[in-house]
Chain A
Amino acid sequence: MPLWLLGTIVVVGLAAIWLIMRVYGFDRPLVLTHDVAAQEFATDNPGLVPEDIHLAKSGQSALIHAGGSTYVLWVMGQDVATQNVAKARVNEAETGLTLRLPDFAAPRVTLTLTEDEKALWKPMIEGAA
């Protein structure tokens, strides 16, 4: 198959798939509840049991204490990712906090938080170092 034809099929095909997913609403993010955050955390960190969960009002992130460490859990599409925040650098952002993580596969996350949550979460994350 000529390269130009293959390229055209790929570009048009991917654009069509993206458009269809948008129309079907498959870009709606997961909204966390306490139970969902607990279950997702335990699944992503075998052997750890969440002891204390601070769920953001946005439903898009949670700060979790487990096994003597502090972890951040955040929504990625319809799923989540989790990271230990011991080595995270935390900065205030307009909508919440930005964490820079020492992990090439999860380098940075911006958490959407209220002002009250910002004030509560920042020292907890900094204190986890």
Chain B
Amino acid sequence: MDLSSLTYPDVVSFAVPFFVAAVIFEVTWIFVKRRGGRYETRDAMTSLAMGVGNVVVGILLGFVTYGFLMWLWRITPLDLGASVWVVALCFVLDDLRYYWVHRLGHRVRWVWASHVNHHSSQHYNLTTALRQTWTGTFTFMMLLSAPLVLLGFHPAMILFVGGLNLIYQFWIHTEAIDKMPRWFEAVMNTPSHHRVHHGRNPRYLDANYAGVFIVWDKMFGTFVPEQADDRPDYGLVHNIGTFNPLRVAFHEWVAIFRDLRQPGLTWWDRLRYALMPPGWRHDGTGGGSERLKAEYVAKHPDAAGTPGFETVRPVQARAEPAE
């Protein structure tokens, strides 16, 4: 089938008026009902500025990812066509790709440097969904889309379903919805599951990476259900002290390069500052998520074995806080 002229609508652009209307609705709901979340003007405007920046960067640098995927498309002998079923299959497999990109985004500091801004708000509302990266191209995570192209999914289709995935994830960034029906919570990513992902509570670190289908977390052992007695506290383990979008976008990149430039490091250590999980330090003083969980369990032995702490062994807390 000749797919050289295959095009799909830019669904994210079409969703922008809906995003704006939904934010206005949510902020009004919270004001009227006095529940269902929190808004703060500068925090929300920073999130929205990050969203606008993400769109601008996409326009400027989108050709890098699309060019790479089109190059793969030219060399692959496979072509699955463009039927509705192929698009549906592409959506599911792309969501699996998203799970792994997202998981790497939390476990590899180079990728975390791009993703950290999405977690840098201490609020959790619909504007948080729009607090998107400006530096995703530099993580080279487009490599994880390569298998889909090589299997015969057209790059335009992959970007189309990626847009649908992004739109789906918008509505789950809210505290206004408590729980969805049980069957829905079992299969789909929901506000409850994603609140866990944004929580900085030790229990919730490195959990619920799903985009659309929560089943990936259940399959790969990263699912943690939201606990009524441990409400998510949003933000980073150690929060940033700025609303400046430029600093929000680039602060972890700056931190990486400062760590790389420390005198007396081996090249192996320099590489590990970029590739190990956030919090790693060459002298062993770092506080990654495993350590934070273990310290929490040492302080709260009753938590051992509960969701998020199933395999955690307690260790004594250090005198210095985690990075």
Residues of A within 8 A of B52 (CB): 10, 14
In the complex, what residue of chain B is closest to A5 when comparing beta carbons?
A: B13
A-B pairs with beta carbons under 8 A, tally: 134
Of all A-B residue pairs in the complex, the 3 with the closest CB atoms, nearest first, are A106-B241, A81-B241, A13-B20
Evaluate whether A45 and B321 lie within 8 angstroms (CB atoms) in the complex, with A17-B48, A105-B242 already known.
yes
Spot the interface stretch: B38-46, B86-94, B160-168, B303-311: B38-46
CB distance B239 to A44 under 8 Å?
A: yes
Closest-CB distance, B283 to chain A (whole angstroms): 17
Chain B stretch 279-313: residues in CB contact (< 8 A) with chain A:
287, 292, 295-296
**How many Å from the CB of B230 to the closest CB on chain A?**
13
Specify which of B48, B233, B237, B295 is in contact with A14 (CB 8 Å cutoff): B48
Contact present for A20 and B27 (CB under 8 Å): yes
Instruction: Let me know if A22 is at the binding interface, CB within 8 A.
Output: yes
Q: How far is the CB of A17 from chain B (nearest CB, A)?
A: 6
Q: Of B61-69, B103-111, B181-189, B247-255, which stretch is located at the interface?
A: B247-255
Are B45 and A14 in contact, with the CB atoms below 8 A?
yes
User: Interface residues of A: mostly helix, strand, loop or mixed?
Assistant: mixed
Known: A1-B10, A9-B20. A104 touches B321 (CB 8 A): no
Smallest CB–CB gap between B274 and chain A, Å? Answer: 17
**Nearest CB on B from A113, distance (A):** 18
Contact with A along B263-278 (1 / 0, CB 8 A): 0000000000000000
Q: What are 21 residue pairs bridging A and B, where the CB atoms are less than 8 Å apart in the complex?
A: A1-B14, A6-B16, A9-B16, A10-B52, A13-B16, A17-B23, A17-B45, A26-B31, A27-B40, A46-B237, A46-B292, A46-B296, A76-B122, A77-B40, A78-B123, A79-B122, A79-B239, A80-B239, A81-B241, A101-B241, A106-B242
**B143 to chain A: which residues have CB within 8 Å?**
none
Interface residues of B in 176-212 (CB under 8 A from A): 200, 202
Residues of B within 8 A of A6 (CB): 13, 16
Alpha-carbon distance between A1 and B11 when the two chains are bound, in angstroms: 9
Asked if B320 contacts A47 (CB within 8 A), the reply is yes
Complex formed: what's the CA distance from A51 to B235 in Å?
24
A46 to B317, CA, bound (A): 9
Whole-angstrom CA separation of A81 from B127 in the bound complex: 20
Q: Per-position contact with B for A89-118: 1 when CB-CB < 8 Å, else 0?
A: 000000000000101111101000000000
Interface of chain B residues 36 through 90 with chain A (CB within 8 A): 38-45, 48, 52
B-contacting residues, A29-88, CB 8 Å: 43-48, 67-68, 74, 76-83
B241 touches A26 (CB 8 A): no
- Which A residues lie at the B interface, using CB under 8 A? 1, 6, 9-10, 13-14, 16-18, 20-22, 24, 26-27, 43-48, 67-68, 74, 76-83, 101, 103-107, 109
Q: Which residue of B lies closest to A78 (CB)?
A: B40
Contact A76 B27 (CB under 8 A): no
- Most chain B beta-carbon neighbours within 10 Å: one of A77, A103, A105, A107: A105
- In angstroms, Cα B254 to Cα A46, docked, is 23
Contacts A1-B16, A21-B27, A46-B237 given; 4 further ones with Cβ under 8 A?
A13-B20, A14-B52, A45-B322, A104-B247
Interface contact B44-A21, CB-CB below 8 Å: yes
Are the C-beta atoms of B41 and A21 separated by less than 8 Å?
Answer: yes
Assess the A24–B31 pair: CB atoms within 8 A.
yes
Q: List residues of B (231-263) whose CB comes within 8 Å of A's CBs.
A: 233, 235, 237-243, 247-248, 250-251, 254-255
Q: Is the CB of A44 within 8 A of B254?
A: no
Contact residue among A14, A16, A44, A104 (Cβ-Cβ distance under 8 Å from B238): A44
**In the complex, residue of chain A having the shortest beta-carbon distance to the beta carbon of B234:** A79
Q: Are A46 and B247 in contact (CB under 8 A)?
A: no
Residues of B within 8 A of A107 (CB): 242, 247
